[in-house]
Amino acid sequence: MANGNVFNAIYFADKQNAGTYIEKKDGNKKSEAKPYYECLNIVRSSISNNHASDLANLDLANDGERILKNLISKYINQNNLSCTEISDQNELTEKIFDDMAGFGILTSYIFNDTVEEININAWNDIEIVTSNGYRKIDESFNSPEEAVSMVKKMCASGDVTIDASTPVRDSYIFKGTRISAMIPPVIDEEIGTVASIRRQKKDAITPEMLINGGSVIKEELEFLSMSLNNGISLAIGGATGSGKTTFLGCLLTDIEDSKRIYTIEDSRELNLIKYDTDGKIINRVIHTKTNEGSNTTQTELLKQSLRQDPDIIVPAEMRGEEAWDAQEAGRTGHTIATSLHTNSPEETYTRILTLCQEKGTNLSEDLIMRMIMDAFPLVVFIKKLKDGTRRCMKIIEPTSYKDGDLKYHTIYQFVIKGWEKDETGKVKVKGEHKRVGDLSDKLAMRMLENGAELSDIQKYSPNFNPEKLEVV
């Protein structure tokens, strides 16, 4: 069961129902059986009207569950409720509690570790996504109105209001679980809502898990770790659901404990704090979060990060003009690790360019791109393949840009050799991760100047010899 303030999490989204269904009953007379959803609204309205102040500071994680269940039972009795679908009062109490404090029909899927995503296509059309693909579930909401009410409650858990004036919102239900939702008027009334709920795996993905799962090879992770630990910024590109945040989190777990990491997220997904056996924090991490209510944006938090003496700044996902401030920081001695939505490694650079141009600068496109290439000498491209596996497809280093033409060389690549089917018809990719190129002397020298060992650099650039480089 999700933790949180009972009143905000339970009643905020359903406030429009308060007072609508309250009925006065003869205490000795059994009422006519009602549909479940009507019973739910009667109890919810009774509690919301009569106990809002009592519940304002109550937490479900402590004594809230017991108190709320007692209130539910009280109002079932007080209103002499009987339900057409559920005859047992204890079962009815549990069901109403689950719909009020939990997530109704979605609860079991939200807390199922095998479910990666829940897509609500309509109030009566819901699908889940696992590592085996997607499937439609049998359950549905009782009505479009119930679906909208549940989405409002989920958004309210992250202090975000979704209503007719702001019908498209992003929020989080709790740490590691995000929701992107739309309601009328941008969605037809008879549909109710369209929403996507994405949950981060409960247990943190480790580098070893990525390696064992074939997403990457050890050599690639060691190269990227050496880069970040020695001042080389990088951007991770990929489509929605490709695993960008997971990959970024894995890279950051290998950052030296002495380095100060400053993260910026819309909702908390990166879990980077390390503890020793006595429970003492051993690394240096600052987690920050945007807040629409106070107009605290990624741009504001990026500017603030420069005053916090960071070694690595992590705008977890760049979506707008904060990309300009990120590249500025990357060109002024700060290491940046970030991600963004793109369809190819080269498009990752053009996407950053587009975001930077939202700043409204008068600089030429060629100059801005050269600044971006200097700020982000490496791009990692992640892709979710047809068989559901996620692969680090390429690691590239840009070399030049002129008149819209980006030149780069590839350092690592996942080479697809074909596809095969098992006895059930399920497809599986055939391929291997390979190093297909070396670092440029320019990037190798930058690493050396930032403190990397020459022997480590030469693993990825065997011919690099700083003593033989031309002095410019």
What would the DSSP string read from start to end of 142-201? SSHHHHHHHHHHHHHHTT---SSSS-EEEEEEETTEEEEEE-TTSS-TTT--EEEEEE--
State whether 182 and 219 are in the same domain.
no
Q: Is residue 462 part of a domain?
A: no
pLDDT band at 114 (very low <50, low <70, confident <90, very high): confident
User: Which one of 82, 102, 122 terminates a domain?
Assistant: 102
User: Which one of 79, 102, 125 terminates a domain?
Assistant: 102
- Rounded to 5 degrees, φ, ψ at 244 are -60, -50
| Cα gap 267→117, rounded to integer Å | 16
| Cα gap 7→50, rounded to integer Å | 12
Q: What CATH number does the domain containing 155 carry? A: 3.30.450.370
Write the DSSP symbol of residue 47: H
State whether 280 and 413 are in the same domain.
yes
The most confident of 39-43, 198-202, 378-382, by mean pLDDT = 378-382
pLDDT band at 61 (very low <50, low <70, confident <90, very high): low
User: Which one of 160, 181, 199 terminates a domain?
Assistant: 199
State whether 146 and 230 are in the same domain.
no
The pLDDT tens digits for 381-414 are 999 999 989 999 999 999 999 888 999 999 999 9
Q: Is residue 452 part of a domain?
A: no
| Cα gap 393→417, rounded to integer Å | 13
State whether 318 and 233 are in the same domain.
yes
The pLDDT tens digits for 423-472 are 888 899 999 999 999 999 999 999 999 999 999 999 999 999 998 876 44
Contacts 24+ apart (CB under 8 A), 445-448: 445/469, 446/231, 446/232, 446/377, 447/226, 447/227, 447/230, 447/231, 447/232
State whether 300 and 347 are in the same domain.
yes
pLDDT of residue 22: 39
| Cα gap 466→457, rounded to integer Å | 11
Written as six digits, the tokens of 142 are: 């009782």
Q: Is residue 279 part of a domain?
A: yes
State whether 62 and 91 are in the same domain.
yes
Q: Is residue 251 part of a domain?
A: yes
Written as six digits, the tokens of 150 are: 């549940």
pLDDT band at 270 (very low <50, low <70, confident <90, very high): confident
pLDDT of residue 188: 93
The answer on pLDDT for 57 being more than 80 is: no
pLDDT band at 56 (very low <50, low <70, confident <90, very high): low
Mean per-residue pLDDT, 167-184: 86
Q: List 59's β-bridge partners, or say none.
A: 5
State whether 231 and 252 are in the same domain.
yes
pLDDT of residue 130: 86
Lowest pLDDT segment from 63-67, 144-148, 187-191: 63-67
Q: Is residue 300 part of a domain?
A: yes
The pLDDT tens digits for 20-48 are 343 444 545 556 888 887 888 888 778 87
State whether 220 and 168 are in the same domain.
no
State whether 238 and 288 are in the same domain.
yes
Mean pLDDT of the chain: 86
Q: Considering only residues 258 and 18, tell me which one the structure prediction assigns the higher pLDDT.
A: 258
Mean per-residue pLDDT, 374-380: 98
* Residue written as token pair 């690493």: 447
Q: Is residue 97 part of a domain?
A: yes
Lowest pLDDT segment from 158-167, 189-198, 306-315: 158-167
pLDDT of residue 191: 94
| Cα gap 206→185, rounded to integer Å | 43
How many folded domains does the chain comprise?
3
Q: What CATH number does the domain containing 414 carry? A: 3.40.50.300
State whether 365 and 427 are in the same domain.
yes
State whether 243 and 382 are in the same domain.
yes
Q: Is residue 11 part of a domain?
A: yes
Q: Is residue 219 part of a domain?
A: yes
State whether 396 and 285 are in the same domain.
yes
| Cα gap 118→14, rounded to integer Å | 22
Lowest pLDDT segment from 39-53, 292-306, 358-372: 39-53
Mean per-residue pLDDT, 358-384: 95
Q: Considering only residues 271 and 13, tell me which one the structure prediction assigns the higher pLDDT.
A: 271
Domain of residue 382 covers 207-437
Burial (CB < 10 A; 0-12, 13-18, 19+), residue 68, is buried
Mean per-residue pLDDT, 188-209: 84
